[in-house]
Structure 1
Amino acid sequence: MKFYKVFATVLVALALHSCGAYFNQPFDQTPARLGEQSRSTQNLLNLPPAQDPVEVAVYNFSDQTGQYKAVENGSTFSTAVTQGSTAILLKALEDSGWFIPIERENLSNLSTERNIIRNTKQEYIKNLNPNEPPLPPLKYAGIILEGGIVSYDTNILTGGIGARYFGLGGSAKYRQDRITVYLRMVSTSNGEILKTVYVSKTILSQALDGSLFRFVKFQRLLETEMGITRNEPVQLAVKDAVEKAVHDLIIEGIEDGFWSAKGGNTVNQDVVEAYKEEKAVAESTGLYNRIFFQQKFKNALSFDAGVSLLDADYTAKRVGGMARLGYSMALGEVVSLNLNGAYMNMKTGNTFDESFASVDLNAEFRLLRNDKLSPFVYAGGGIIMGFADNQESLGLDGNQTDAKVQYGAGLEYALSPRVGLRLWAEHDITFTDKLDNLINGKRDDYYFNFGVGLKYYFNFSSSKKTDDQQTPAVNTPKQ
């Protein structure tokens, strides 16, 4: 019975994990509905109204990737992305309220229909009504919007997790694709490219499944499985990217003085400032949502607090408190030299409870220096000093000073360019067996330190630029 309870628990967990898809399974035909909004639709609709909408023409905004859908077996002539991106762009331009789209994609159809109207008026209506007005001229645009879908990258990030035990198992997998859109604005008076925007959008696919394959009795096999797959629609991703491109084009046009919102400079400035903040974050975010900033400080002070765990000759293990102060000086992009002083309270057995101090010199390697979240490793040597009273019965000096080596690793999260939050663990190996005032066996004593702390970065020399706000690292070297 325990086995079936476990299986039922796994099935319930799998179902609840993707309850949005599981409890909304289609069981019947559904009527047509209005198209879904993307994440960028509301931002586009929330823009302030334009002072004077601009006539724009879109001849072609197409798929320039030339990619076809990937299939496991055989071949397909279905394209990877929608071929109707021009219609998506025209809808976004109309929804924004900042543009008056003019039909140019099917200009031949429009010209043919106008010729039919013109000929009909000349041959029939003119004879009945000589004052019939002529057909009004076509509107012309001062701006042409060009561009298209320039890339569709599949499997930029894949992963999953799963387990199976005696025929009972489950797994979760995900895949991330990415679509990239360029939109440029061209002047019809002289052909100058006035502005170009670039937008990318990720497309997420997820799969979750569970299965059971087990003999419950002799010649009685139980086999069952369930699964859920959820794929983000590519068309909706294209819509999101195109609407974001139109939104950014409008604001950058405001910034460069091509057009203006109702309300004048005050409204324009508010919209542009909000966009600049968003753009700064976007420019400091790399692929896989890695957030970059420029670490321009060469020196740092740190304070850490945590616990120490002595592993010596006593069988019983207890933790004690510790605190550490440190100074570090950068020697390069990823290497720094650290000098630390620590106070530790070590406990072990039922009687040993003593205080120690240590001084360490380490070489630290911060592997992703310009990332908001970066792992680091370090190693070095130092000394440890004990403050315990002499134990005359063993003839040991509790106030001894001994050499040691240490190594450790951790994570640092940049709260700002000046302040980092650190989480770390360290292994210290001493060259003495008398750390706990007890000699037993051939192995020397060692201990572990675990801590969390803050690191404050600064420069000794005054810098021309003292702004402490994060600066986007657009040209950050690859780590």
Structure 2
Amino acid sequence: MGLNRIVIGLGLSLALAGCQTAAVVAEGKAPAVRPAYSFPVTTNTTPYTRCLQTLASYPGSHLPSFAVGEVSDKTGQMDTLTESTVLTQGLSEMVMSALWRSGKVRMVERYDLRIPLAELKMIEQGLTSRSANELQQSVPASDFVVLGALTELNYNIVSEGAGLWVGGIGAGGRTVIINVGLDLRLVNGRTFEVVHVSTLQKQVFGYEVEANVFRFFGSQLVEFDAGRIQNEPLQLGVRSVIEMAVYQIMTDYFRLPSEEHCQVRETNFFEETLTGKTKEMES
């Protein structure tokens, strides 16, 4: 009974405070509220951004024209709680940013043609001072087109942890590793031949420590949850594989110098499996 009175009293106090605030705002007497502001705006980089930026320092002015087409999320993964996709849908834009950072391409717009087509229509209707012939002569063709997709999102490659709870009081921690996979291809804009393919994956690490304290007051359950979750951002992993794929295009296909610390890490996880099967067939 005492607990119920406390809750009711607290609710009435909050309601009265809200009414008073609304009255002050209605009379125009409320001072401006300073919005909360925490961290400053920063650059959005990955460990491979510096590798791309290094390419810009190499000599060369005859730059190829690049167009970025659809680079989509084909993992099919959805978050059922928020009813949204798990992975970013801005993959084409990430590829464009990576190409720009390389400083070794000229980019032409092919992904969203609404503005160019609207401009052409306005020219045809005589609504601008530019002529259609002038526009046609000034639009460069694309030498190469980049296409692809995120093709993998695998959960719980490794999941391990420990916890101890006694009488509803305890603590626990766990680590989780997932991975994202990208398949990116480079298409010759003149012949439509696929001239280069990058197939990469990035493992993403998460670590969680938590402590849960439960207490019962009559028939009411009160839960106090304190913890810390520190995860490697999933979308950072996506941007990382995209920047590495673009770096591969610049170094493997266009033969720009490759820094040793920027090269993709080769894995041989399944070499023993293949070697073992070969030995079984020979025996």
Settle same-fold status: TM greater than 0.5.
yes
Give the C-alpha shift of residue 44 in structure 1: 1.6
Alignment-derived partner of residue 57 in structure 1: 67
> What whole-Å deviation, never above 9, does each CA across 1:185-236 have from its counterpart, x for those lacking one?
1112222111101111122232211245689xxxxxx985521122333322
Q: Distance in 2 between matches of 1:181 and 1:132?
A: 40
> What whole-Å deviation, never above 9, does each CA across 1:396-435 have from its counterpart, x for those lacking one?
xxxxxxxxxxxxxxxxxxxxxxxxxxxxxxxxxxxxxxxx
Amino acid aligned to 2:227: G
Alignment-derived partner of residue 146 in structure 1: 147
Amino acid aligned to 1:98: K
Q: Any idea what SS the aligned residue of 2:117 has?
A: helix
> What whole-Å deviation, never above 9, does each CA across 1:155-208 have from its counterpart, x for those lacking one?
222111223456653211122221111111111222211110111112223221
The answer on whether the counterparts of 1:62 and 1:149 sit within 8 Å (CA) in structure 2 is yes
Amino acid aligned to 2:237: A
The answer on whether the counterparts of 2:123 and 2:132 sit within 8 Å (CA) in structure 1 is no
Q: Distance in 2 between matches of 1:231 and 1:102?
A: 36
Aligned pairs (5 A) from 1:52-91 = 52-71=62-81, 76-91=82-97
Amino acid aligned to 2:241: A
Q: Distance in 2 between matches of 1:34 and 1:77?
A: 29
Alignment-derived partner of residue 202 in structure 1: 203
Q: Any idea what SS the aligned residue of 1:195 has?
A: strand
Alignment-derived partner of residue 177 in structure 1: 178
Q: 1:233 to 1:120 in 2, by over 3 A?
A: farther
Q: 1:282 to 1:163 in 2, by over 3 A?
A: same
Give the C-alpha shift of residue 98 in structure 1: 1.5
Amino acid aligned to 1:200: Q
Aligned pair count reads 236
Aligned pairs (5 A) from 1:216-365 = 225-255=225-255, 261=256, 268=257, 271=258, 274=260, 278-279=263-264, 281-284=265-268, 286=269
Higher relative contact order (CA 8 A, sep 6+): 2
Q: Distance in 2 between matches of 1:144 and 1:209?
A: 47
Does the alignment pair 1:41 with 2:49?
yes
Task: Give the unaligned 5+ runs of structure 2.
Answer: 1-34, 217-221, 278-283
Q: 1:199 to 1:132 in 2, by over 3 A?
A: closer
Aligned pairs (5 A) from 1:59-138 = 59-71=69-81, 76-120=82-126, 125=129, 134-135=134-135, 136-138=137-139
Aligned pairs (5 A) from 1:408-447 = none
TM-score (norm 2): 0.70
> What whole-Å deviation, never above 9, does each CA across 1:36-69 have from its counterpart, x for those lacking one?
3112212221234352321111121111222212
Amino acid aligned to 1:199: L
Amino acid aligned to 1:40: Y
Q: Distance in 1 between matches of 2:158 and 2:80?
A: 16
Q: 1:132 to 1:240 in 2, by over 3 A?
A: closer
Q: 1:225 to 1:49 in 2, by over 3 A?
A: same
Amino acid aligned to 1:233: P
Task: Give the unaligned 5+ runs of structure 1.
Answer: 1-26, 216-221, 256-260, 262-267, 293-369, 371-472
Q: Any idea what SS the aligned residue of 1:33 has?
A: coil
Q: Distance in 1 between matches of 2:200 and 2:114?
A: 31
Q: 1:133 to 1:282 in 2, by over 3 A?
A: closer
> What whole-Å deviation, never above 9, does each CA across 1:301-340 have from its counterpart, x for those lacking one?
xxxxxxxxxxxxxxxxxxxxxxxxxxxxxxxxxxxxxxxx
Give the C-alpha shift of residue 125 in structure 1: 4.4
Q: Distance in 1 between matches of 2:192 and 2:183?
A: 18
Q: Distance in 2 between matches of 1:29 and 1:43?
A: 32
The answer on whether the counterparts of 1:206 and 1:230 sit within 8 Å (CA) in structure 2 is yes
Give the C-alpha shift of residue 254 in structure 1: 3.5
Q: Distance in 2 between matches of 1:58 and 1:101?
A: 8
TM-score (norm 1): 0.44
Amino acid aligned to 1:119: Q
Identity of aligned residues (%): 23
Give the C-alpha shift of residue 112 in structure 1: 1.5
Q: Distance in 2 between matches of 1:245 and 1:43?
A: 12
Aligned-residue CA RMSD (Å):
3.4
Q: 1:104 to 1:160 in 2, by over 3 A?
A: same
Q: Any idea what SS the aligned residue of 2:121 has?
A: helix
Give the C-alpha shift of residue 252 in structure 1: 0.5
Q: 1:132 to 1:44 in 2, by over 3 A?
A: closer
